[in-house]
Amino acid sequence: MPTVEVKDVVVHYGLVEALHGVSFTVPAGQIVALVGSNGAGKSTTLKALMGLKKVSAGSIHMDGRRIDATGPAQRVSMGLALSPEGRRLFPRMTVWENLMVGAHTVGSAAARNRSLEQVCALFPRVQERRSQLAGSLSGGEQQMVAIGRALMSHPQILMLDEPSLGIAPKIVSEIAQAIVRLNRETGISVILVEQNARLALKMAHHAYVFEQGTVIRSGSGQELLRDAFVQKAFLGV
């Protein structure tokens, strides 16, 4: 399992600098949370990791190999996958067809079937709903399909952008438990971007707090849950 190292990464939207030199590490097999308020740069960081946003300065390494100039398709082949904010499913395609979109880099039918079995074991509701149009599912079920689609490419590093957004609390905890179980059972690393800081810090081995395009604090999930600044700014304590 690879380690990811993000070093002094700067990203621009046009002339506006959104990330001002972000650095963090994702050790192999860990859940790493990126928390912080709206617009702090968390989604931009995931896009830079996935190759969807160009890095203006700094570097990204995966297992010692520099990847920041590599295209997104190649990064998928190298083991990175992103479940984007807002889920971005194809609403008029069935659940099964949406999952297959995630498997387009997987050559063999046997490997695709193994991925499907993994997704169905993780989210039995996805299997139950397999023939339905994705657009007809509840928000929580759509989120499960979006995570499932990302898993179909056999990633070693799974990036999740706001998996709890707009989802009923009971389903949020179901999805959170599934992610923790997936990490424990398979050793897949998870980079979790969450507005719900309490949930993210409970799930994470390690976390980084973002503010205005920089990392301002880091520590284990448990340490940050006890941190006075984090409690005041993000936990409503």
Asked whether position 42 contacts ligand ATP by CB under 6 A, the answer is yes
From candidates 32, 40, 119, 134, binder to ligand ATP by CB under 6 A: 40
Stretch that binds ligand ATP, among 12-20, 61-69, 94-102, 197-205 (CB under 6 A): 12-20
* Helix H or strand E segment including 139: helix 139-151
Contacts of 128 (CB under 8 A, 6+ apart): none
Asked whether position 22 contacts ligand ATP by CB under 6 A, the answer is no
* Helix H or strand E segment including 44: helix 42-50
Range 213-232, binding ligand ATP (CB under 6 A): none
Q: How far is CA 126 from CA 75, 114, 116, in A?
A: 26, 15, 10
Using alpha carbons only, give the angle 106, 51, 38 rounded to the nearest 5 degrees.
120
From candidates 2, 41, 148, 155, binder to ligand ATP by CB under 6 A: 41
Asked whether position 86 contacts ligand ATP by CB under 6 A, the answer is no
Residue number, 43 or 115, with CB nearest to ligand ATP:
43
Spatial distance between the Cα atoms of 79 and 74, rounded to a whole number of angstroms = 9
Asked whether position 71 contacts ligand ATP by CB under 6 A, the answer is no
Residue number, 152 or 224, with CB nearest to ligand ATP:
224
Q: Which of 42, 44, 63 is nearest to 55 (CA)?
A: 44
Spatial distance between the Cα atoms of 9 and 206, rounded to a whole number of angstroms = 19
* Beta-bridge mates of residue 148: none
Stretch that binds ligand ATP, among 20-28, 37-45, 122-130, 152-160 (CB under 6 A): 37-45
Range 153-212, binding ligand ATP (CB under 6 A): 210
Q: What are phi and psi of 22, to 5 degrees?
A: -90, 130
Stretch that binds ligand ATP, among 41-49, 141-149, 152-160, 221-229 (CB under 6 A): 41-49
Q: How many residues bind ligand ATP (CB under 6 A)?
A: 12
209 CB neighbour count, 10 Å cutoff? 25
Collapsing DSSP to helix, strand or coil, 93 comes out as: coil
From candidates 26, 32, 44, 67, binder to ligand ATP by CB under 6 A: 44
Residue number, 44 or 83, with CB nearest to ligand ATP:
44
Which residues would be at the binding site for ligand ATP (CB under 6 A)? 13, 16, 18, 36, 38-44, 210
